[in-house]
Amino acid sequence: MAEANPDQSHAARRITHEEALARAREIVARMTLDEKIGQLNYDAPAIERLGIPSYNYWNEGLHGVARAGVATVFPQAIGLAAMFDPDELERVAGVIATEGRAKYNAYSAHGDRDIYKGLTYWSPNVNIFRDPRWGRGQETYGEDPYLTSRLGVAFIRGLQGDGRYLKLAATAKHFAVHSGPEAKRHEFNAVASRKDMEETYLPAFKAAVEEADVESVMTAYNATNGQPCSVNDDLLGRHLYGEWGFRGHVVSDFMALEDVHENHHYTADAAETMAAAIRAGLDLCAGRCSGATREAIERGLVTEDDVTHAVERLYATRVRLGMFADDCEWDAIDYGRNDTAAHRTYNRAIAPKTFVLLKNDGILPLDRSKLRAIAVTGPNADSTKAILGNYFGRQSHKSTILEGIERACGDDVRVYSGLGCSLFGAHAESTLSHEDERESEAVINAEQADVTIAVLGLDSTIEGEQGDAGNSMGAGDKADLSLPGRQRHLLERLLETGKPVVVLLASGSALTLDGLEEHPNLRAIMQVWYPGGQGGDAVADVLFGTSAPSGKLPVTFYRDCSGLPDFEDYAMAGRTYKYMTGEALYPFGYGLTYAGTALGGLDVRVGDPEAEDRSGAGEGSGEGSGPARTVRVAVDVTNTGSRGEEQVVQAYVRNPVSPLAPRNGQLAGFRRVSLAAGETKRVAFDLDPDAFTVVDEDGERITDGTRFEVAVGVSQPDARSAALCGVEPLKATVEL
């Protein structure tokens, strides 16, 4: 299901930044100094004498309209990343934008302009998930800057639409070099080399600005290379406004400006902070120190003209959103377009594309006609938190995993259910009982059943943002990758019954079963992330074969933390699939399907893409601006199974000569393809031109070598991936 634009002709005449800024100047010119200062705050007061209503800039739409009542709750962002499908993600964002506009139109008509009810959305999170212990990694699109860039651009385009006015204003966050630890984020200084900045931490933000024309950028709490991000001249001045030509507005994270003087001790007080922020190019204070701006002016730290320019940029965004127009096409979106049956159906349909099948000996999909009874257990089986993730709305049709399985089984298959254990503690329900008091029930149920579905993992009380993850000892971060509490012990007991066990992992990050992955009775493992409002029904669809899993890991699943650098070390050496030295438990890019795949006919061609047939290329496949000599790959993909499948074809490039290149190569293109049983399709796409360059220690992108190894398959070209998938990538050498 795609969200159609009501007037495609508007795409050619989007209101420009220049037009919006000219109108904004007319509006701001009528304001007094105090009125302008008031507009620097995210909760901007009304200016009644000018007929300007109050406006709160803070809204969230990470995977659905959040915190504003009922809305479609899509799978968490990390799950959406596992689709490896920018086109689909853009459609998801289009649905979010429709529901966001529907809510805004209704709320504002009733004079309700509170938080979470505006049109400026503080999404997406395009930070790099560099360390699996980071609790907020679930909000991102994974560990790879190329994948994150493609998905970030798609999501922003979907939110902002293609009309004359912006459907919503997207915000790329958190700028920049932000990925934990959460407990120290308000005073932490992330030190990153120029090479790591250019190679890993900045590409997604650059793409958001240059390719998606993102309307807003949010600064991070932390400092980067010694300077708090909200006043960081290098990030804001040199990169954002300078090299990339950003034309929107910059907002701080909530209370991040207070951190500048209170925690980083970079400035002496709020007045100095506001002056430094405005001079650096920050326009909007999400916090409470914007009122110090008048003092900053009186002390000569900043001028009224500087303040005026900041307010003009803020109002240019509001102009681009159509707030001062009577011809905004999005004003016609009715409240009835929120949380529609069609949106829920779409949500359920795409969720299987986010699920990553990590192990399957053939037990999945389950054949209901051969089942007498199944057992469903685990702390996440009947948990609403485990389907929602963080930053979510309220789903109108609840579907926990247990409920989805029960609906799918109906009266035909008996479902035994029980909690099994707590998510993180020794007691499942009552401290009056002995520890593990619900474990025997789970074992008894397993003994009665033909197969046990163990739903384990985490939820937002364990991993998430500082302050939200209330049960976490690490302010939302994980200490290790093991299952918390007594979950592993429960799994051991279930495996001891001798009955087949299928593990579903609900989490926003990598987990390990500490060796139980290889137990002969553990027949299948599937990572379902936080699967969204229709997640339970979608999981049941996959378990019983109504649909099939087709996600790929956007992050590496490590065996443990022993080979990882210190969590506070922001150097990329030893991190992610590109730089790690050991063998992954489950590698980035890995994921099984229910069918089989064969590859053949690899062709790698160097030339001018305009002179070639572009029928196979598409958004997210790596095409775009770059050197005149573009590298295109084409490969035949065959579904060797007896049922349809969706597969993700991936291309990786390795520079075998340059010491500056990532040691394991890098993702350079990908394409999702749908195949009927026995069908063969030829899939073609261009590779990312940056994959044929390297970044030197000064942060400059250069050419270092002319001979490259290209591998095309359904996974990375490493030995572990090939062994798990049973499909060897095809390889070629290309000369440039």
Q: Identify the CA nearest to 391 among candidates 77, 57, 55, 56.
A: 77
User: Which H or E run includes 196?
Assistant: helix 194-196
Residue where the block lists tokens 């992050």: 555
Residue type (1 letter), 46: A
Tokens found for residue 653 = 């490039």
Is residue 234 part of the annotated active site? The answer reads no
Q: Is the peptide bond before 124 cis (omega within 30 degrees of 0)?
A: yes
Exactly one of 131, 234, 253, 283 is catalytic; name it: 253
Other CB atoms within a 10 A radius of the CB of residue 726 amount to 11
Mapped onto helix, strand or coil, the DSSP state of residue 526 is strand
Phi, psi of 494 (to 5 degrees): -65, -40
How many residues in the chain? 736
CA pair distance 65, 282, nearest whole angstrom: 26
Residue 461 CA from chain centroid, whole number: 19
Strand order in the sheet with 189-190: 189-190, 223-224, 227-228
Question: 244: exposed, middle or buried (C-beta count within 10 Å: 0-12, 13-18, 19+)?
Answer: middle
CA 729/CA 714 separation, integer angstroms = 7
Cβ–Cβ contacts within 10 Å for residue 600, how many?
11
- Residue pair 133/479 in contact by the 8 Å Cβ criterion: yes
∠ CA 198-201-205, nearest 5°, is 90
Complete DSSP assignment for 579-614:
H--S--SB-TT--B-SS-EEEEEEEEEEE-GGGS--
Distance CA 1, CA 515 (A): 41
Residues 463-466: contacts with CB under 8 Å, at least 24 apart: 463/135, 463/137, 463/138, 463/507, 463/508, 463/509, 464/135, 464/136, 464/138, 464/390, 464/508, 465/135, 465/136, 465/182, 465/390, 466/135, 466/182, 466/183, 466/185
* Count of C-beta atoms within a 10 Å radius of residue 697: 9
> In the numeric block, which tokens belong to residue 717?
């070209």
Whether 132 contacts 177, CB under 8 Å: no
Contacts of 369 (CB under 8 A, 6+ apart): none
- The count of other CB atoms within 10 Å of the CB of residue 268 is 9
Do residues 169 and 60 make contact, with C-beta atoms less than 8 angstroms apart?
no
**DSSP one-letter code for 127:** -
By 3-state DSSP, what share of the chain in percent is helix, strand and coil, each rounded to 5?
Answer: 35, 20, 50
698 class by beta-carbon count within 10 Å (0-12 exposed, 13-18 middle, 19+ buried): exposed
Query: Which residues are designated catalytic?
Result: 253
